[in-house]
Amino acid sequence: MPDQLLRVTGATAGYRGVPVVREVDIAVGASEIALVVGPNGAGKSTFVKAVIGELPLMSGRIEFNGKDVSGWGEERRAAGGIGYVPQTRDVFPTLSVIDNLEVGGFRLSPKECKQAIAQMFERFPALERLRHRKARQLSGGERKMLAIARALMADPKVLILDEPTAGLAPRIAHEVLEDLVVGLAKLGRGILLIEQRVTLASAVASHVTVLVDGRVSYAARGDEFRAVPDVSALFFGSGEAAERSSWSAARGPA
């Protein structure tokens, strides 16, 4: 499917030969927000590490923009257009705002980098006012804004956001999801969003995947997920009772 920017098929990954996530399928299209939720220890972080290339796949396949990138390293995936904003340690604290952006655009030519910084300041005017401030001196919301702007410097087609609202006040968390994340998707980027705040995040999601014990226990369109009366049952139900909607059946691997 040409509109699928990122397609993960049967991904199994883990540490020292022991799989933590098994047979995970997820697809992210342009302008879509693919939400991954699950209880603590479900394997969300391991899954993200596998997608960005920090952790090799034990089996399965990752396609990006129609190419098999399963064997690509982290730097190559980043340079190729997979942006990543970690949950913590998402900026370089001892570098200024503008230096953080410059590192984010390291692969660009000096001219392109300058233009990209100007675009970021246009999109995030608050950052321009703080351009010479060290990242460690920013508030939680400003810091997350910088982290996203830093990731956008390379103009990624897909942006992976690992719990972007973690540690933020509810109002700021709402702003990050409603304004920032939705705004980025509207510009044509595919967003792979990992979140703990299920209700808040599912409100903006195009589709939702629930990971439990390293496996996909449920996958559905955003509207289908929002209609589920008791979401907690999806989190704490057994993996064997995996439920798949008409959407996931249609989008799953052939």
Partner 1 sequence: MSSTILLQSIGFGITTAAVVAIGAMGFTLQLGVTNLLNLSFGNVMTIGAFASLIAEHWHLGLAATIIAAPLAGALVTFVLARTLFALFARRQGGAFDLLMVTLATGLIIQYTIDALAHLQVFQFSFPSGSTLNIGPFVFTVLSLSLVGVAALVLAALLAVLHLTRIGKALRALSVDPKLARACGVPMRRMINLTWIISGALAGLAGLVYVTNSLTVDASAGLDFLVLVIAAAILGGAGSPVGAVVAALVVGIASEVVAAVGGSYYSQAAGLGILALVLVLRPASGVWSGPSRDEVTV
The per-residue DSSP string of the chain comes to -TTEEEEEEEEEEEETTEEEEEEEEEEEETT-EEEEE--TTSSHHHHHHHHHTSS--SEEEEEETTEE-TT--HHHHHHHTEEEE-SSS-S-TTSBHHHHHHHHTTTS-HHHHHHHHHHHHHH-HHHHHTTTSBGGGS-HHHHHHHHHHHHHTT--SEEEEESTTTT--HHHHHHIIIIIIHHHHHTT-EEEEE-S-HHHHHTT-SEEEEEETTEEEEEEEHHHHHT-S-HHHHHHS-GGG-EE-HHHHHHS--
Residue 72 touching partner 1 (CB under 8 A): no
Smallest gap from Cβ 189 to partner 1, in A, equals 16
Residue 144 touching partner 1 (CB under 8 A): no
Token representation of residue 139 = 């508030």
Ramachandran sector of residue 214 (left: φ over 0; alpha: ψ -120 to 50; beta: rest): left
Residue 61 touching partner 1 (CB under 8 A): no
Smallest gap from Cβ 12 to partner 1, in A, equals 22
Residue 93 touching partner 1 (CB under 8 A): yes
Smallest gap from Cβ 92 to partner 1, in A, equals 5
Residue 86 touching partner 1 (CB under 8 A): yes
Query: What mask of x and - would describe binding to partner 1 in positions 200 to 219, judged by CB under 8 A?
Result: --------------------
Residue 110 touching partner 1 (CB under 8 A): yes
Between 121 and 225, whose beta carbon lies closer to partner 1?
121
Residue 118 touching partner 1 (CB under 8 A): no
Q: Between 140-152 and 97-104, two packed helices, what is the crossing angle to 10 degrees?
A: 30
Smallest gap from Cβ 107 to partner 1, in A, equals 5
- For residue 194, the cross-strand partners are 36, 162
- Site for partner 1 (CB under 8 A): which residue of 64, 84, 225, 247? 84
Between 58 and 79, whose beta carbon lies closer to partner 1?
79
Question: Near partner 1 by CB under 8 A, which window of 23-31, 83-91, 186-194, 246-254?
Answer: 83-91
Token representation of residue 14 = 């883990």
Residue 154 touching partner 1 (CB under 8 A): yes
Smallest gap from Cβ 222 to partner 1, in A, equals 27
Between 60 and 83, whose beta carbon lies closer to partner 1?
83
Q: List contacts with partner 1 (CB under 8 A).
A: 52, 54, 74-75, 78-79, 84, 86, 89-95, 99-100, 102-104, 106-107, 110, 113, 150-151, 154
